[in-house]
Amino acid sequence: MVAAIPPPLDQLVRFLASEAFVKAAIFPGATFVAVLGILSVWYERKLLARVMLRIGPFHVGKYGGWLQVVADAVKFLSKEFIVPARARKKLFISMPMAALVLAAMLFAFIPFSEYWVIYRSDIGVLLAFLFLAVSPIPLIVAGWASGSKYSFIGMIRFAFQVFAYEIPLFLALTGVIIAARSFDLVEIVKAQTPLPLIATQVIGFLVFFIAAVSEAERIPFDLPTAEQELVEGWMVEYGSVGFLTIQLAMYTKLDALVFLTVDLYLGGWHGPAIPGIPETILQPVWVFVKFLIVLSVVMLFRGVYTRITIKKILDLGWRLLIPLSLVNLFLVSLTVYLPTLAA
Amino acid sequence: MSQADALIYYTILSVLLPLILYAANKLLAPKRSSRRKRLPFESGQVPFEWAETSFPVEYFPYAIIYIAYAVLAVAVFLSAVALVERPEAGFNLVLLLAVLSATSIYAAFSLKELPQRL
């Protein structure tokens, strides 16, 4: 087919059909990430509406108002981008972009099967954690650069919350690395063949999951952006494309964290085989099914929980999750060490 | 090689995405800035100047503890890496983690007594 195309064009076609470009641009790359970010907003609105006995969006788009999200995005894009008088202009404009890029970069290391991963690395877990650890910094700077009292208070709350929950996240991750005895995310999923890691590390899973919900700033941990008291907290000065980019970044980060939870604890692409469907297609489907279940749980929190106070958030992080994650590590190191004694 | 290529393409595409959004905004949005629009948000009030007094940073003790725990997490992580290589040398790590979990539980109970404001 390619041979029939004249010389300058066939190079292009070959490039577009190459494995690297398909992975980077379509699945699990840019198109997938962008569409997933938009659709998870729609999914959340529909799910919350069901919890609150409403219908949710239904006017725009034939099925369940799914085009409403696109309409909202277009509306945001056609609004004037106002930079407040006291804001540091360069930082104020560039930080939402940085937030989106860092959140999207997480997807480069998340495997959907042994084949479907953009960049498989020996230290994939560490690379993913690197981007996870850096991702709050643009948001903190964005709140700071806004030059407004509300965003400043929201920024300080956000910084405290992030500090409190990054260490439990890291310690829980260490437990996974010890149990799977690898830093490669693909190897970690492969190590979960008979039983997913959640079976042996229930405490670790709980710590990681709670810390991940907090990292993504979801209710009950959404104090920094509290819509009612702090009027969106650190992003109060953002409108138009800035707000859109921040929202997209937040949802992309949430999706990436849920995918990480699935890969680290819930057995990734391991699932019962369905006859007739090849493995290369079935494996990403299993990851996606597990992703949808975990995502629904996280989104249900918003429907059923209230926002907790900052003292309780910090207490939970410092006084419960850190000791728990250390105890989990202790148990995991015992399960690795004791078999060597017997041998 | 195709792996590194994929990473490079993906990085370029994820940088392009926000740039496209900003460019679309530049094309679509009106540009009529005024002094009133550029006022910072203060719940509909006329904004007043920043207070010259010091801002009381609450929960400051927690920030101090962060420094201790961050160093500690790195130490634990490094010893855990050793366990990946040689599981038979795991007794040291078991000992270290036993002490650490016990002390962190003690610290958790004593943290309750700390004042939240300095």
Q: What are A40-51's pLDDT values in tens digits?
A: 999 999 999 999
Q: Is residue A5 part of a domain?
A: no
Closest Cβ–Cβ partner in A83, A119, A181 for B6: A119
Strand partners, A206: none
- What is the total count of domains within chain A? 1
Residue A78, pLDDT above cutoff 80? yes
Interchain contact, A85 vs B38, CB within 8 Å? yes
- Is pTM beyond 0.95 here? no
The more confidently predicted of residues A327 and B74 is A327
Q: Is residue B45 part of a domain?
A: no
- Say how many CB pairs under 8 Å bridge A and B: 215
What B52-59 contacts at long range (C-beta under 8 Å, 24+ apart), as own/partner pairs, is B56/B117, B57/A156, B57/B118, B58/A310, B58/B116, B58/B117, B59/A160, B59/A310, B59/A311, B59/A314, B59/B116
pLDDT tens digits, residue range A259-318?
999 999 998 888 888 888 888 888 899 999 999 999 999 999 988 888 887 778 888 888
Q: Is residue B88 part of a domain?
A: yes
The parent domain of residue A130 ranges over 13-342
Residue A100, pLDDT score: 93
Residue A56, pLDDT above cutoff 60? yes
The parent domain of residue B70 ranges over 60-111
Interchain contact, B18 vs A101, CB within 8 Å? yes
Q: d(Cα A234, Cα A15) in Å, to the nearest integer?
A: 42
Residue A82, pLDDT above cutoff 90? no
Q: Is residue A1 part of a domain?
A: no
Interface check for A105 against chain B (CB to CB < 8 A): the answer is yes
Lowest mean pLDDT among A53-62, A155-164, A217-226, B92-101: A217-226
CB neighbours of residue A8 within 10 Å = 7
Q: How far is B79 from chain A (nearest CA, A)?
A: 10
Q: Is residue B89 part of a domain?
A: yes
The more confidently predicted of residues B39 and A67 is A67
Q: Work out the pLDDT band at A161, boundaries 50, 70, 90.
A: confident
CB neighbours of residue B60 within 10 Å = 15
- What is the total count of domains within chain B? 1
The more confidently predicted of residues A261 and A1 is A261
Provide the percentage of residues in chain B whose pLDDT is more than 90. 14
Q: Is residue B53 part of a domain?
A: no
Q: Cβ contacts (< 8 Å) between A118 and chain B: which residues?
A: 3, 6-7, 10
Q: Is residue A6 part of a domain?
A: no
Q: Is residue A4 part of a domain?
A: no
Residue A2, pLDDT above cutoff 60? no
Q: Is residue A134 part of a domain?
A: yes
Are the C-beta atoms of residues A120 and A110 closer than 8 Å to each other? no
Q: Is residue B69 part of a domain?
A: yes
Q: Work out the pLDDT band at A229, boundaries 50, 70, 90.
A: low
The length of chain A is: 343
Closest Cβ–Cβ partner in A21, A326, A333 for B90: A333
